[in-house]
Amino acid sequence: NAGVTQTPKFQVLKTGQSMTLQCAQDMNHEYMSWYRQDPGMGLRLIHYSVGAGITDQGEVPNGYNVSRSTTEDFPLRLLSAAPSQTSVYFCASSRADSGANVLTFGAGSRLTVL
Amino acid sequence: GQQVMQIPQYQHVQEGEDFTTYCNSSTTLSNIQWYKQRPGGHPVFLIQLVKSGEVKKQKRLTFQFGEAKKNSSLHITATQTTDVGTYFCAGPRGGADGLTFGKGTHLIIQP
């Protein structure tokens, strides 16, 4: 089992560019989520999904889109990148019967927006 | 909205000393989780506490959940260099799925 796989590990964008951060898990977890981590701010929930075809907003959803067409994949799209979106992004998954609380995190994607 | 606060933000200890981090929620929690993140790494799940007053141990780590289920602590006995990292507590978001994380306590160990 690879667990939760995120790509790319590093990305540099210019303001206004768009991109997609990929996340895939092979544990058949129902629940998937995206967090961003900024210095001194902890981890903040961007979007989450409780199953294929179902997504919902977290604490800081503005500027991001998600979709969940399969159980395995949960990509995060930045529509028009802004310097405020410079951050480390973590994808996480969980079994639904854990209450979506026992999260397995990916290794992270470090994004810099110039 | 729900807030989860952690103190201290940073803790410097000499190797072999004990370490404690505290977590407080503005609302009663159904459960609380603790995660550890090594420098440059990703958060890793440590434990989940569910019952009021619960105490769980993992080797040198002791986790407690308060009687009112609004606070929790993590205590490490006789720290080692492998304990370096940031420790986060997290609780369920009120009225929605997902977790609210505290800002973490950075543990720095001086040999």
DSSP annotation string for B38-73? -TTS-EEEEEEE-STT-EEEETTEEEEE-TTSSEEE
Report pLDDT for A100. Answer: 65
Model pLDDT for residues B33-68, shown as the tens digit of each residue: 999 999 999 999 999 999 999 999 999 999 999 999
Residue B2 in this model has a pLDDT that exceeds 90 = no
The residue of chain A with its CA nearest to that of B1 is: A59
Residue B111 in this model has a pLDDT that exceeds 90 = no
Put simply, whether B85 touches A (Cβ < 8 Å) is: no
Report pLDDT for B93. Answer: 87
Put simply, whether A40 touches B (Cβ < 8 Å) is: yes
Report pLDDT for A99. Answer: 65
Tokens of B86: 């940031």
Q: Find the helix or strand (DSSP H, E) in which A103 lies.
A: none
Report pLDDT for B84. Answer: 98
d(CA B45, CA B66): 20
Model pLDDT for residues B63-105, shown as the tens digit of each residue: 999 999 999 999 999 999 999 999 999 999 877 788 999 999 9
Tokens of A94: 């969980």
- Reduce the DSSP state of residue B82 to 3 states and report it: helix
Report pLDDT for B3. Answer: 86
Report pLDDT for A41. Answer: 84
CB interface of A with B, residues 60-89, below 8 Å: none
d(CA A19, CA A42): 24
**C-alpha B94: how far from chain center:** 19
The residue of chain B with its CA nearest to that of A39 is: B103
Report pLDDT for B108. Answer: 97
Contact criterion met (CB < 8 Å) for A101 and B90: yes
Report pLDDT for A101. Answer: 78
Report pLDDT for A2. Answer: 83
The residues of chain A scoring below 50 in pLDDT are none
Share the mean pLDDT of chain A. Answer: 94
Contact criterion met (CB < 8 Å) for A101 and B31: yes
d(CA B97, CA A33): 10
Tokens of A17: 């560019």
